[in-house]
Amino acid sequence: MASSTSPADVFRHSLRLLLDKDVAGWVALWDDDGVMEFPFAPPGWPKRLEGRAAVRDYMRDYPAHIDLHAVPDLTIHRTDDPATVVVEMRAVGRLVVSGAPYDMTYIAVVTAVDGRFTHYRDYWNPLALPQDGTADFTGSDR
């Protein structure tokens, strides 16, 4: 668990877990009823995950598809709601299947209460991924 329960600290801790390929630890940061949304999800990909179990199912194979190396750019903006932050970040690594570089810019609106993610709206660009299926880490049950 993060040493502080501020949304910014929880988010920073979550990045460390992803970089360490600790998906179980990352999922443990979620509230049982947490919601993850992907407003720009392409057809066939989930737009909304409800509950920690759904987030776990979505992320279960993440390290087998994306080998995340670093988050070289990270800016966390506070909002008028003390439980919510807006995150701008860039993540780099490689796609495991193809070996191709992974370089993705994200904007996320993240709410964390008592050290747990309760809402996470992820504005990532699916058009930046290869269209050959090598980056499909959502499982076959999308």
Please tell me the predicted confidence (pLDDT) of residue 138.
46
List C-alpha distances in Å: 131 to 11, 30, 61: 29, 30, 18
Give me the residue label for tokens 């390929």: 21
List of residues 6+ apart from 140 with CB closer than 8 A? none
* Strand duo 116-124 + 30-37: pairing: parallel
Please tell me the predicted confidence (pLDDT) of residue 100.
92
Q: What is the DSSP letter of 42?
A: P
The C-alpha atoms of residue 84 and residue 70 are separated, in whole angstroms, by: 24
Please tell me the predicted confidence (pLDDT) of residue 1.
46
For residues 106-129, average pLDDT = 92
With respect to residue 76, please indicate whether it lies within any of the assigned structural domains: yes
With respect to residue 123, please indicate whether it lies within any of the assigned structural domains: yes
With respect to residue 77, please indicate whether it lies within any of the assigned structural domains: yes
The total of structural domains in the chain comes to: 1
With respect to residue 78, please indicate whether it lies within any of the assigned structural domains: yes
Q: pTM higher than 0.85, yes or no?
A: yes
